[in-house]
Amino acid sequence: MKDIQEVFDEIQKLKKEKRDISREYKYLLDNDGNYQKITEEAKKLRDQKKKIEEVNKSPRLDELSDEIKALNEMASDIAISQLMSGQSIHIKDEYEIEYEPVYKVSFKKIK
């Protein structure tokens, strides 16, 4: 098995390669006149679409999204508390389908 530092170094190397290729790709698109014209047309259509959606949108949608987000955070907090106290976590929906928690570890740069 690889060392975590080796894996991290490989990730960093691949990210750098991806950035370089993306930069080159963006440069090519920026210098393509046909692409620029189509992009402008698409932007106008997106703006028109957005206006139509805003006129017909129910204000309850935003309220529901906020409530769901808050309840998801609460569920995460409860799950972590139960995990830290040694309890197992069991959740079932209305169709008796079981769910298990998924934990994620990520790294951020230390300043």
Query: Per-residue pLDDT tens for 43-94?
Result: 999 999 999 999 999 989 999 999 999 999 999 999 999 989 999 888 999 9
- The structural domains of the chain, with segments of one domain joined by +, span 1-56, 58-87
The answer to whether the beta carbons of residues 79 and 101 sit under 8 Å apart is: yes
Give the DSSP H/E element, type plus range, for residue 98: strand 98-99
> What is the reported pTM?
0.58
Residue 98 backbone zone (phi > 0: left; psi -120 to 50: alpha; other: beta):
beta
CA distances from 73 to 63, 66, 67, 78, 98 (A): 16, 11, 10, 9, 19
The chain-wide mean pLDDT, for the chain, equals: 93
